[in-house]
Structure 1
Amino acid sequence: MSTPIIPDPIHAGIAKGWKIIDAATLTKDRTLEADVVIVGSGAGGGVTAEILARSGLSVIVVEEGALKSSSDFKMREAEAYPGLYQESAARKTADKGINILQGRTVGGSTTVNWTSSFRTPPATLDWWRRHYALPDASPEAMAPWFAMMEARLQIADWPGAPNENNDILRRGAGKLGISTGLIRRNVKGCWNLGYCGMGCPTNAKQSMLVTTIPAALEQGATLITRARAERFVFQGERADELLCQGLDAAGVHPNGRSLRLRARHYVVAGGAINSPALLLRSNAPDPSGQLGRRTFLHPTVISAAFFPQRVEAWAGAPQTVYSDHFLAGAPDGPMGYKLEAPPLHPLLLATTMNGFGDTHAQMMRDFPHLHGMLALLRDGFHEDAPGGSVRLRGGGSPELDYPLTDYLWDGARRALLSMAEIQFAAGATGVQPAHEMARRYGSWREAKAAIAALPQGLQLTRVASAHVMGGCAMSGDERLGVVAPDGRYRGLSNVSVHDGSLFPTSLGANPQLSIYGFTARLASGLAASLTGRPAARLAA
């Protein structure tokens, strides 16, 4: 039986003349002009690009990563992580305490995420209205924007049954009376492969790579890849131009070529580490002192469990079951957490879990029987969860300083206990928390006592995150946010921010749909102000 040929929309678009400049191949410096220059092609930049281009504006999108497409996605970790992620999927906080997974390719993290799609939780929106002077941050006000993006990106209930990895969460929680729900996904014609984190080889995932960026290019937008946005040049309260460096073929080192991008308006959408970093490198005004501060991660702790039956957690839709049971309390009470079941692949699993030698080797031999569960800790709502700060290294590259407090460690301990109890309730023969001093425990009674006694701390508890938010907080109170409610950067008349860095706290949910909805609203307002007519509406 022959392998079916998957049409590659990127190759087709290039063949018909899309305007794409690969800065790695430049032989001379370039100067380009447009109505709007957008930094970043992920959830915020992609949505903004389509809305502005469809509204009749000329658009340039500049992306630090390379343009990869379904023809390049081979479901191999060794190729995907260096090619599609920031710092080869090994970006870390300054103290190396948290590993951060962020996309670095056209489409940004939407190209490599696991498709989980949640609207912003009502409790989070309520907090923003009450504490950050954002009266339009309500479920009712945001519903039309979420609905528009859900239609545009095919976000819907997943019709298939959960794979065994996810069903273990459902079954175990059900036996304990813990509520669960099903995760909506942005997919169309999904093959149920389970390798979403390495780029979708069938173009089923409705990421920015196959939706909004191609739509903008169809409208005449220009895409510049492997180009690093270095700094803005300001003239008074206006950005006069954006200076970019071309990068080498690996997309790492400058190749000696520069680009000067000039526009009526600039949109910063590089993600919640790179966006604050660009503005910091540019010495952007910061009267509130909040630029780069209050950056949040949903610090994530992990619990592995071993089952008699084969789990094969690498196969099937990656995340389809969740539980918000432990988010029911007040946001500023004890730290709450969301439970999900992530896909497991050998390289990421082996480098995330603790142990070495024979113990680690045995875990990997048991890989087909291994189930994974994670807890996303909801940070940003308590005085002892202030998040982190983006700062610049000597060469101007960003790093995130993210202190881990006793308040967070208390949440981590409770989360590890909750996950272990659910896993044993589902029939696990052993549970091993991702903690340097933990081992495989054979019963809930043993695990309960051991986890309660484990010291929680830096480099002991394994912490990761794929969700970066904040650093350019949006607020109606200029003392609390560097960005106004319309997305405009305070103190700069022609600069906006359209990405997850806008969020004044974490979300308590996977962020992509929140970014889509808020960006659609902000980009539509920007398009109307620049053109003098209503913005184009997006449709499936």
Structure 2
Amino acid sequence: MTAPFNFGQLKFLKALTEALFHEAEMVISPDQVVANICDLFAKVGGTKLDEIRLSLTATEIVLGPLFAASRVETRAKRIRDRLQNSQFDLFQDMARLRGIIYACYYGHWQPGVEAGDQDANAANPVHAQIGFTLPKFRQRGAGEMPITRIDGREIDPAHVLGAADLASEYDVIVVGSGAGGAVAAYNVAAQGYKVLIVEAGPFYPSHHITHHELDMVAELFKHGALQTSTNRDFVVFQGRCVGGSSTINNGICLRVNEAGRTHPDAPDVLAQWASLGAPIDAAAFHASYDAVQEKLGIAAIEPRSGRHNGPHLLNGWAAYAAASQDPKEQRAVADWFAKNFGPPGTATACAYCGYCNSGCAYGRRMGMAQTYLPEACRDFGARILPGTKADRIIWQMAIDGRREAEAVRLVLPDGSRALVRARVGVIVAAGTIASSKLLDRSDIAGTGRNISLNVASPVVALMPEGVGGDAWDEDQMSSYVDCGDYLLESHFQPPMSMASLMPGWFADHSARMKNYGRVHSAGILFPADRRGRVKDGKLKFQLDRDADLPVLRRAMATLAKVHFAAGALECYPALTVGQAVTPDMDIDAFFESVIRESDDVTLSSSHPHGGNAIHADPRHGIVDPECRVHGTANVLVSDASVFPSCIRVNAQWTTMAMAHYATGRGDPFR
């Protein structure tokens, strides 16, 4: 494997690591941290590696001459003055290198006989430093779910093709194997079509997934979980593997405007779509939700799976709302999430190991790779081609004058190209960004516009000694509050991910991580509606200063108050500078003063949607109300890119329902 960085870059990375841990105890060496960074980026490679090399060069220039040769105290002061406390957007972007370095310290993994070996990491010094125990060594008492693997749900490897097994033609080619692609592939295969499912990422069954976070993010996420918007204001998390994001998400399943589980004042999403020229049959759409629910066993999780962090948010909200004079807050809905983890109450239910976002190593998640995909292959003859990019759709002219997909040009794992004929049609379901790029390369005009994000940002809370329990020993996300304008969602991460989102610098960051067993965490989620577009193959996205930033400030202030109502001593919102918030502060005024623009806070999204919106009029949308691309005879889009506006809740279930709506109510090609 080619080394990702040259000698000068390695020297600078070491100097930067030493400075970021100034006055903090390190239990592994700076050289080991740099080795972990190299291992991560050697696996990620591609354009993301090029970007990080450029960022290193620029950061070295900003930090001044002879940075690596300076005393560590001098280096720390330069970082504090020029990066941590900078108000320049470019310098704030560079400051996010700190998250990579902290992640590669706390994501350290001892080498073992096998990759991801928990036995070799029983005495991992970084885990010991923060008081963390790997799932294999956790003690579960009577009535608790054992952390064991469930077999029998995986895709049969015989149904996963290599380039040599690829036929020259199929009835239907489905591009993408995630929430939209898997449901669509199952439905059309069940109608008797010979289906090929093309997936850009690798085939990674559950028994290959480990708790080595650095390995898993490199293998299973697009760009190693480092994909950003063009302005670097947002990290966009997307799966890039067979099963897509359903393999590495928290399994949250919320319907739009579900009675009793959605704030009564929340906008009516389907009515909004209709007003935008996208009439959807509400009864049929909810029937599609029902069909997906039945197959995945979607149900409210068992409270024991979110036993610490989940009640923290729910109890904190109850105490906060009881004192609120705001009628909207009094009407808020607070509840446990419904998920496709299990199903609950069975021996195969979620074992709440806390590693949802790096893949379920126990085969318990009812994701696409455990349900729709293996059934489509086993029962109806579909086949999966991983590691393959769909480059473009090749057209011919249909009798009625519309364009008709004749074939799809593929880029195979070895870089060679193949042209595979689609006798009946093509379904595009590669996700908002990739679907927009594929359609654009295929000469469909106007793609990638009006993209929405559910924008997230965390607030971590320090609890008193002995209060609340170890939040890392449970499901990552378990409860939520729908406040109408935004949601609050409980969440907690394993060490590497928690380190990357934990605010703070130098000894402050180290001290906060040493309190790993005492912190609870939650995040805000608010809709940024139709603010983005795909430009030159990348997501360009900008919050509206007047419409979005006030919601962001209010949501973060509210969440801090909820933490304090639950008994927190101080809070650490995800601010670039890393300030702490205490109960005696004017919290609203604090957030008003410190969040002036997007760069002042760490923002992310796991569910971009829009870009190829439904519209009855081809002048204003890419697909018609049946999800067929306007002006084509046999190309459908069945992923979240067809959503005309932001749905404001987690997009997984709605994406699956949309795919069923497009393909499961009859033959979509007739």
| Same topology, TM > 0.5 | yes
Residue 44 of structure 1 pairs with residue 202 of structure 2:
no
Residue 112 of structure 1 aligns to which amino acid in structure 2?
I
Show the counterpart of 1:411: 551
Amino acid at match of 1:221: A
Q: Map 1:304-383; keep pairs closer than 5 Å.
A: 304-308=460-464, 309=467, 311-325=469-483, 327=484, 336-380=485-529
Partner amino acid for 2:353?
L
Instruction: Give the whole-Å Cα distance in 2 for the aligned partners of 1:113 and 1:181.
Output: 19
Return the letter of the residue paired with 1:364.
M
Question: Percentage identity across aligned positions?
Answer: 27
Asked if the contact 1:102/1:109 (under 8 Å) is kept, the reply is: yes
- 1:299 is paired with a residue whose SS is strand
Distance 1:21 1:322 in 2: 41
Residues 609 and 641 of structure 2 are in contact (CA less than 8 Å); yes or no, is this contact kept in structure 1? yes
Does the aligned pair in 2 maintain the 1:424–1:444 contact within 8 Å? no
The residue number in structure 2 matching 1:240 is 406
Is residue 280–residue 625 contact of structure 2 (8 Å, CA) maintained in 1?
A: no
State the distance in 2 between where 1:224 and 1:437 align: 45
Q: Determine whether 1:227 maps to 2:410.
A: no
Counterpart in the other structure of 1:159: 302
Q: Distance in 1 between matches of 2:417 and 2:307?
A: 48
Cross-structure match for 2:22: none
Structure 1 residue 89, shift from structure 2 partner? 0.5
1:438-466 per-residue CA deviation (whole Å, 9 max, x = no partner) reads 41122153544322321331321111111
1:410/1:36 Cα in 2 relative to 1: closer, same or farther (>3 Å)? same
Which of residues 79, 86, 102 in structure 1 aligns to 2:238?
102
Contact 2:148 2:362 in 1 (8 A): no
Distance 2:474 2:149 in 1: 21
Amino acid at match of 1:53: A
Specify the code of the residue in structure 1 equivalent to 2:507.
D
Contact persistence 1:195–1:315 (CA under 8 A): no
Question: After superposition, what is the alpha-carbon deviation per residue over 1:329-357, rounded to whole angstroms, capped at 9, x for unaligned?
Answer: xxxxxxx2111012222222222233221
Helix, strand or coil at the partner of 1:423: helix
Partner of 2:274: 129
1:389 paired residue number: 533
Instruction: Find the aligned partners of 2:272 and 2:352 in 1 and give their Cα distance.
Output: 37
List gaps (5 residues or longer) in structure 1: 248-254, 328-335, 381-385, 393-397, 533-540
Deviates more, 1:69-78 or 1:310-319: 310-319
Partner of 2:209: 73
CA distance in 1, matches of 2:664, 2:284: 14
Is the 2:284–2:661 Cα contact (8 Å) retained in structure 1? no
TM-score, normalised relative to structure 1: 0.87
2:628 paired residue number? 488
SS in 1 for 2:598: coil
Contact 2:180-2:639 within 8 A present in 1 as well: yes
Relative to structure 1, the CA distance from residue 313 to residue 479 in structure 2 (aligned partners, 3 Å threshold; closer, same or farther) is farther
Total equivalences in the alignment: 490
Whole-Å separation in 1 of the counterparts to 2:497 and 2:297: 29
Alignment of 1:18-33 (within 5 A): 18=159, 20-23=160-163, 32-33=168-169
Paired residue for 2:426, among 249, 254, 266? 266
Instruction: Give the counterpart letter for 1:443 in structure 2.
Output: P
Aligned twin of 1:208: 368
Partners in 2 of 1:311 and 1:487 — Cα distance? 47
The separation in 2 between residues aligned to 1:214 and 1:405, in whole angstroms, is: 43
1:443 aligns with 2:583: yes
CA-to-partner distance for each residue in 1:165-205, whole Å, 9 max, x for gaps?
A: 12111011001225412211112222122211111122211
Contact 1:44 1:499 in 2 (8 A): yes
Contact 1:434 1:461 in 2 (8 A): yes
More strand, by proportion: 1
Counterpart-to-counterpart distance in 1, 2:425 and 2:372: 20
Go from structure 1 to structure 2 and tell me whether the alpha carbon gap of 1:304 and 1:265 turns closer, same or farther (over 3 Å shift).
same
Alpha-carbon distance change, 517 to 246 in structure 1, aligned in 2, over 3 angstroms: same
Deviates more, 1:336-345 or 1:217-226: 336-345
Distance 1:124-1:228 versus aligned 2 partners, 3 A rule: same
Report the RMSD for the aligned CA atoms in angstroms.
2.0
- Between the aligned partners of 1:72 and 1:121, the Cα distance in structure 2 is 38
- Structure number with the higher helix fraction is 2
Letter in 2 for 1:226: G
| Partners of 1:49 and 1:59 within 8 A in 2 | yes
Q: Which residue of 1 aligns with 2:254?
A: 118
Letter of the structure 1 residue corresponding to residue 290 of structure 2: A
Match of 2:395, SS state, is strand
2:116 maps to which residue? Answer: none
CA contact (8 A) 2:639 2:655 kept: yes
Question: Following superposition of structure 1 onto structure 2, how do residues 388-537 of structure 1 map, counting pairs within 5 Å?
Answer: 388-392=532-536, 398-406=537-545, 407-525=547-665, 527-530=666-669
Amino acid at match of 1:370: V
Q: Deviations over 1:349-378 (max 9, x none)?
A: 222233221111111111211222111111
Secondary structure at the aligned position of 1:36 is classed as: strand
Cα gap change, 1:439/1:220 in structure 2, threshold over 3 Å: closer, same or farther? same
> Separation in 2 of the partners of 1:32 and 1:343?
47
SS of the equivalent of 1:372 reads strand
Residue identity opposite 2:427 in structure 1: V
- Conservation of the 8 A alpha-carbon contact between 1:413 and 1:456: no
> Which stretch of structure 1 is more off in the superposition, 178-187 or 82-91?
178-187
Q: Could you tell me which amino acid in structure 2 is paired with residue 146 of structure 1?
A: Y
Change (3 A) 1:529 1:503: closer
User: How far, CA to CA, are the matches of 2:280 and 2:179 in structure 1?
Assistant: 23
Structure 1 residue 31, shift from structure 2 partner: 5.3
1:168 has 2:324 as partner: no
Per-residue CA deviation, residues 5-48 of structure 1 (Å, 9 max, x unaligned), is: 6425437x22xx42x2234xx5x9x6521110000000010001
SS class of match (2:432): coil
In 1, Cα distance between equivalents of 2:459 and 2:390: 38
User: What secondary structure does 1:388 align onto?
Assistant: strand
Compute the TM-score of the two structures, normalised by the length of structure 2.
0.70
CA contact (8 A) 2:629 2:635 kept: yes
Q: What is the CA-CA distance between 1:529 and the residue it aligns to?
A: 4.5
Q: Is the 8 A contact 2:640 2:651 kept in 1?
A: yes
SS at match of 1:303: strand
Letter in 2 for 1:402: F
Q: Report the Cα distance in structure 2 between the residues aligned to 1:116 and 1:425, rounded to whole angstroms.
A: 26
Partner of 1:256: 415
**8 Å contact 1:65–1:227 — kept in the other structure?**
yes
Which structure exhibits the higher relative contact order, with contacts defined as CA atoms closer than 8 Å and separated by 6 or more residues? Answer: 1
CA distance in 2, matches of 1:5, 1:429: 38
Give the match for residue 250 of structure 1: none
Distance 1:7 1:529 in 2: 34
Contact kept in structure 2, 1:353 and 1:462, CA below 8 Å: no
